[in-house]
Amino acid sequence: MRFKKTVAIIAISAAPLAYGQGAKDWEGEAELGVLMTSGNTEETNVNARLGLVHEVVSWRNIAEFSSNSSKSEDQTTAEKYRGSLETNYKFDENQYLFLRGAYEKNRFSGYEFESTVTTGYGNRVWQRGKRSFLDLSAGVGYRYNKLEALDSDGEDVESEAISRLAAQFNFALSDNALFSQKLSTEIGLDENNVISRSETALKASVVGNLSMKLAYRVDHVSDAPAGSVATDTETSISLLYGF
């Protein structure tokens, strides 16, 4: 697609590139991105995100909320809202128990909403310094999804026990650059519907607390609702502000 003019690309985020700051219990991440184009195609994309982490000796609490909308030629082409809350009880330096809840509303996914609650065990299997680490976790829980239309069995609800596998890898490429990779898979134990997510990001400091972020996200549903695609992708480039 060819554009004659890019009107604005704006993004603001608040997040340190480090994972944990010793005596600093709280970290925040707020992100706003706007892309508007005119010419051959009129299009507007808006991305917003808020993330908070509170960490002390025995506990780590994580909250994340995000939205994504896109409009082309006065028609909405994407509209997503996500939220998750997670608490970790660290019973030694590397091992922890987690409890996690997540909610998502995606206008074009075939679901009115998707929600899960999971609990399980996690382990920081590798760490180098404060910014490079690998976390692996596994657990079980419950999925409750509301469909926009009745399925082949005449039902509009998907509810089943699930197992969850997840990983997060952060690697400091330099003092000013950080690579991160998040992966998760939730496997239905009754209907065998598998929902997988991947987020790959690169952050690099520009000046002071300003950084740039390039991110690519993939969501895949093995048994997607009728009329919706199985795989969703998002690509974003942003300016970050850390504190």
| SS3 per residue for 95-121 | EEEEEEEEEEEECCCCEEEEEEEEEEE
Q: Can you give the pTM of this predicted structure?
A: 0.80
pLDDT above 90 (res 37):
no
Q: Token pair for residue 10? A: 């704006």
Average pLDDT, the chain: 83
pLDDT digits (tens, 9 = 90+) for 66-111: 988 888 877 887 788 999 999 999 999 899 999 999 999 988 888 8
Mean pLDDT of 192-199: 92
| Structural domains of the chain, count | 1
CATH number, domain at 201? 2.40.160
CB 187 within 8 A of CB 194: yes
pLDDT digits (tens, 9 = 90+) for 145-191: 988 877 666 678 888 999 999 999 999 999 999 999 999 999 999 87
**Which has the higher per-residue pLDDT, 17 or 136?**
136
The DSSP line for the chain is ---SEEEEEEEEE---SSS-BTTB-EEEEEEEEEEEEESS--EEEEEEEEEEEEE-SSEEEEEEEEEEEEEETTEEEEEEEEEEEEEEEESSSSEEEEEEEEEEEETTSSEEEEEEEEEEEEEEEEEETTTEEEEEEEEEEEEEEEESS--TTS--EEEEEEEEEEEEEEEEEETTEEEEEEEEEEEESSS--EEEEEEEEEEEEEETTEEEEEEEEEEEETTPPTTS-SEEEEEEEEEEE--
Q: According to the model, what pLDDT value does residue 42 have?
A: 62
- Domain hosting 178: range is 5-241
